[in-house]
Amino acid sequence: MQNVRWWDAAAVAVAVVIVAISLLDPPFGADDAATWATAGAFLLVHLAWGRRCVPVASPRLHLAVAIAYAVLLGIGTSIEPSFAILQAFLYPFVWSTSPSTRSAIVANLLIAVAIVVGYAVRSWPGGLITGTAVAALSVGFSIALGLWVTRIAMYGEERARLLHELQSAQGQLAAMHRDAGVADERARLAREIHDTIAQSLTGLVMVAQRTERRLAVVDGATVASARSDLELMEQMAREALTEARGLVASLAPVDPGAGLAEALRRLASSFERETGVRVSATTDAADLDRELEVVLLRCAQEGLANVRKHARAAAAQVTVATDADEVTLEVRDDGVGPGDAVAGDVGFGLAGMRDRVALVGGRVDFGPGEGGGTVLRVTVPRADAAAEASAGEEEARA
């Protein structure tokens, strides 16, 4: 309770209780008036000075306030023994506002001494015995409870610190994963460019140089040979252009914010407009995790990029189906088929797709379709199903 208003309310409440107890035994005399005055003095000291200790006081302020409270408690108890009820407020207050455990124990002992002195002044020597018993019981309970609560608070602070460090480590790990993903994607892109566009353009340069040398001496045979080289250059340039467009299409960003179905529709429409290949996109998946949607979109892009580069197809289909546990993406075409290629063995695009899908616990199947062409199938577990399975395993272990 480190809100100063709550402490103010508690101080007023204990003062009201002390006054109310004295009002239960009329007629009222000088002792009652002295009790009320002491209770009022306590409220004034608290509201003007003691509340400044909240939430944590300096060592000097804490000691000074504890002494003032102890003096008022001793005076009040010497007038009216029921004034000792004030310790119900004082013990928690000095513990919660103390700058250290040592300061809290010193303040507790001051309060206990005040009770003993008050009882002893009220009725000697029997009051000394009663006050000592009351003080020993109350201060013993207060110190034991205070040390226990302090230890719990220390554990709580330690757990909070460890949690903060864990969250920081998780953030750093997530950043490292992102950096690693960016590095892998860049490496894949570099290998893809080297094995496709760079090779085609290198061959194009070599053919151009050879044609230039042949045209140095012009005759019929040279012209025919040069024309053949020019046709070869045109073919190689077209192949390089096709590779470049396919690579750009596989890397182009697609916003899944409008939903997976809309993103696939836009992807299919763009692909059909660029290549002339008819593409249909259908999905029955809804409320998927954002990460899964991004993975499926990237896989669809890569699948259509392979259709562009290798399939020589007239039509393609992109479908997404879901059940209670898994989501399946299929990219089908009516082209020439995959031949002997399998996912991960030929081309860095399929290998990169397999690695991407493996990060979310999925798998990639690649092969010929039943009626011809090629089928790329990507299966990933639903995020909620994976979470339920993990929770079930934890319960089973427990």
Residue-by-residue DSSP string for 50-61: GGGGSS---HHH
Crossing angle of the two packed helices 126-193 and 101-122, in degrees rounded to 10 = 160
Spatial distance between the Cα atoms of 336 and 249, rounded to a whole number of angstroms? 21
Spatial distance between the Cα atoms of 42 and 345, rounded to a whole number of angstroms? 85
Predicted structure pTM score: 0.44
Residues 6 or more apart in contact with residue 359 via CB below 8 angstroms: 295
Sorted by where each begins, the domain ranges of the chain are 4-122, 257-398
Which one, of 356, 397, 361, lies nearest residue 380 by Cα? 361
Is there a contact between 351 and 195 (Cβ–Cβ < 8 Å)? no
Please tell me the CATH code under which domain 257-398 is placed: 3.30.565.10
pLDDT at 256: 52
pLDDT at 352: 76
Is there a contact between 138 and 94 (Cβ–Cβ < 8 Å)? no
pLDDT at 194: 62
pLDDT at 263: 85
Q: What is the pLDDT along the chain (398 residues), one digit of tens a residue?
A: 568 888 899 999 999 999 998 888 778 788 889 989 999 999 999 988 888 888 888 888 989 999 999 999 999 999 988 888 898 899 988 888 888 888 889 999 999 999 999 989 888 888 888 888 888 888 888 888 888 877 887 888 888 889 989 888 888 888 787 777 766 776 677 666 666 676 677 777 777 777 767 666 666 666 777 777 777 777 777 777 666 666 665 555 555 555 788 888 888 888 888 888 999 999 887 778 878 888 888 889 888 888 887 888 899 999 999 888 899 999 999 988 876 654 444 445 677 788 888 888 899 998 888 888 899 999 999 866 555 555 555 555 54
Which one, of 136, 152, 12, lies nearest residue 96 by Cα? 152
- CA atoms within 13 A of residue 16's CA, in its CB half-sphere: 6
Q: List % helix, strand, coil for the chain (3-state, nearest 5).
A: 75, 10, 20
**Strands (DSSP E) along 334-395, which ranges?**
363-368, 374-381
